[in-house]
Homo-oligomer: A and B are copies of this chain.
Amino acid sequence: MEHELKEIIKKCDTAIKEEDFDTLMNYYTEDAILVVKPGRIARGKNEIKKAFIEISKYFNNSIVPAQGEMIILEAGDTALVLSQTLLDADKEDSEFSMERKATYVFKKNSNAEWLCAIDNSYGTDLLSN
């Protein structure tokens, strides 16, 4: 059986593909952050939802995210997911990398549901050196 986090991330990818951002927001904590692009962070569900609408538009509403190799480092109610994230879209001139080594931090809430607290698809590439 796959790790439940793998299933959740798959559901998030489907929601992004279908532009169902209300469903997507169910998988984020209230005070989650999303690294929209290097140097720009969206804070809280409202800003994150708006950022995803913008990102979808940027990619001509054709974005299809998928995960390749994934490593889940779990410590009690906290997990760090390292994931090869692949973005496909009908856009030839994206200024952003379409293949990333992402870092996602998830937290288990009191209902034992995993929610994303930190969504950083750029991983350690945010470091300049």
Give A82's nearest chain B residue, CB to CB: B124
**Closest CB pairs A-B (n = 3):** A101-B124, A31-B76, A33-B75
> In the complex where A33-B73, A129-B84 touch, is A105 in contact with B78 (Cβ < 8 A)?
yes
Give A106's nearest chain B residue, CB to CB: B78
* Residue from B30, B80, B83, B129 within 8 A of A80 (CB atoms): B80
How many chain A residues touch B (Cβ–Cβ < 8 Å)? 35
Give A68's nearest chain B residue, CB to CB: B129
Once bound together, how far apart are the Cα atoms of A123 and B102, in whole Å?
A: 10
Query: Once the chains bind, are B75 and A31 in contact (CB under 8 Å)?
Result: yes
A87 interface hit (Cβ, 8 Å): no
